[in-house]
Structure 1
Amino acid sequence: MNMPLADDTAVERMRAQYLAVRSLSLDLVAPLSDADATAQSMPDASPAKWHLAHVTWFFETFILRDHVPGYQAHDERWAFLFNSYYEAEGARHARPARGLLTRPSLTEVIDYRRRVDEAMLEAMPLIAERCPDLLALGLNHEQQHQELLLTDLKHLFFQNPLSPAAWPVAPNGQDNHYGYDMSWHAGPAGLVEIGHAGDDFAFDCEQPAHRHFLTPYALADRPVTNGDYCDFIDDNGYATASLWLSDGWAWVQKEDVGSPLYWRRHHHHWEQFTLSGWRPIDPTAPVTHISLYEADAFATWADARLPTEQEWEAAARDHDPAGGVQLDQAGPVQPRFVPHADGLAALFGNVWEWTGSAYRPYPGFRTAPGAVGEYNGKFMSGQFVLKGGSCATPRGHMRAAYRNFFYPHQRWQFTGLRLAKDL
């Protein structure tokens, strides 16, 4: 029995979304040499070439192989190279050794993408009918890897004494002050709904929607800025053990941490490494590349605390998730000062905001069947939730219920903080 295909309008919309996402990935790697795209700076990061191939493998494996009759894999050996962590898909190349994959070349990977794109576009009517949810997952998955590609590239270029720049210098904000004094705004209290509900896309870890009780609280109207953070450093914040969680203090001592990642002193002033090379610190821009430990210590120093993910989400419900400083196209990527009049500013974009909430399943969470069930659930251990997206998050990818998660010591992502307090 033949299955009816989706209507032409829906199919064309899916084709357009697919092409837009896939094109941005190629735009992001356009300035890179094959060597740039192959090197791996640390086990937590992956080469740009690997990101390009992995997201393509995702489409090839979970859509073309499983749902398009007669599809033949581009190269059967590449599944071993570009599977990330899907145990159900078998053995794979060790993550810390991804930078040793000098072959296939960047050109070959781009050709692989082209071949898979051709197959996906040809099969789009069938995909729209049989597995539109998998297509949405694949596109959102690639958007996540676009952000990872940028943050991994920044970490790689930071290791180079020549301080290479991927894109031209982006202008700084208003360098003569911190922007404006911080103020406090009460968030929704009482019973609130948390998590995603509805038919539009969300990751499994955002579901199911459920009720949560919040006692009165307030959030700062803006993220903590570089200028604010300089005050913390100047007040010996990194040398005051009483400000730190025990694990955080041990981390500071072991790693000899004294500033956010990518900062250095230059002629008595702070500079910051960016994807446009070294730049003077903009005191008005949100501080970024800090760990949960640093965020928590700053909050303690400021006589405040980190928000819970439920407080943050409830406060963000009425804000536009497509607003703020987010990724629209290849080019300079850096948080920047955004003026505002009243209310909460920059909840979406600029920097991922650490919360004090552990990344754990919501009540009623169930892992999806099959290999795609490994996407989020198995990582719900030892990590903390971040909210709001960053300057490297593709615009349109975010929503209030979105849950990002990292280990408390990690800071190569665009991570910052917003203060909270009890009322």
Structure 2
Amino acid sequence: MRLNCTEIFVAKFPADLAKAVADRWFQLVAGEYVTPACPSKSQLRQILEACYLAANTPEEGRYPKFNVVVTEEEVINFSTEATFYSFGTSRPVTVEEIRRLAPATDSKKSAIWITFSKSDVLIAGICDLGTSWHRARLGLVYSYRVPPALIVQIDRPGKIKVFQGQYAVASLSDGALIESKFDIPLFLHKIAHEKFEELSHDFTVPSVEEPREFESFWFTALCNVFSGLVNSINALGHGGAVIVLPDRNLIVGESVRLKYSCVSDSLRTAFVRFINARNSTADHWTAIENGEVVEGSLHEAELILAAATEHLIETIRFTAQLAGCDGAIVISADLRLIGFGAEIRSELADGTNIYEVKDELDKKYSICNIEQFGMRHRSAVKLVSRMPSAKAIVISQDGPVSAVWGEDGSVFVRKGVALGNMNMPLGS
């Protein structure tokens, strides 16, 4: 266990972000992947500075949230679910132009479209990314063809993220420059592992597809259900908390008071239905690739999968809405709803050490005091200190997500967790 020393904070700006993106652009992904073109460092700086400053200027009392898609040329010749709309005359990339265009886009499904050449960078039009764009980022949709381009996401004043297609490159948040890396949320894997084997007993095992393919998908899909639930709560904007128990029959006791006990298998049932529909469709596609024949119609299997996917999405969103009631949502690790409006009544167990996790994979922790956290975090820490088998995910009203879990008699808190779609690493 390594304890971090106090570091001197040096504020970073869009120019620093532009340099980080340019330096990392061609080293981000290896293999047969084709890296999309990137603007020059000076063009990157122009784009990022204009976006950054536009986000800091309110329009009718509201700060703009918007996306920008940057491509090499106006002719879009790659396969994507996005649709590009060209202006009759391109516009200059300025703070004023971006401010004027931002209200014409929806941060959940569209973007300002910028093109660049060796000599110039211009606003070419707008881009419709589709409703699946937002759902995919939340972990609710399992496949989405992201435009192979530079994508800038502006969430609020002072916060800007840069992606290479679906891959996070770097971000600037309140003066802190963060170079994105492949981040494995191990605590989420622990939650999914607890009841994964038990859940899998309800799955119809594919007869053609290789086990390494479907078993990997099963586990990833389960992680995505938890990610989708948390991100859907986050998208509502009021914050909340999710308490995950290893078993729905675990006696909550004096640690938690359930205002609304609501035992339901709906989420579990929707997930199992989705997995089985996916398995059937995967068998058809694998058989076609192998020149084999599978009983039934591929078209019918795909229709069943589409309906099962939509049902799972709506069930996750319905469950997330329960966070609108004051108190935490309580679910079991096998996706059974136990109740909501939960009030945590625990006091911190004597002798509990609390650690803030800086790097979960490298086990970099720093010891901390419970008083440095807000009310939701303190409640979660107290609960886990009394009920080590429980895990808590805290969603702050202003956006950041934290995980709280127990291990070896200590409580660990990981702040700023990015629970993106495990199939698409664009949520970091």
Same fold (TM over 0.5): no
Higher relative contact order (CA 8 A, sep 6+): 1
The structure richer in strand per residue is 2
Bigger radius of gyration: 2
TM-score tier by shorter-chain length is under 0.3
Q: Report the TM-score, using the length of structure 1 for normalisation.
A: 0.27
TM-score (norm 2): 0.27
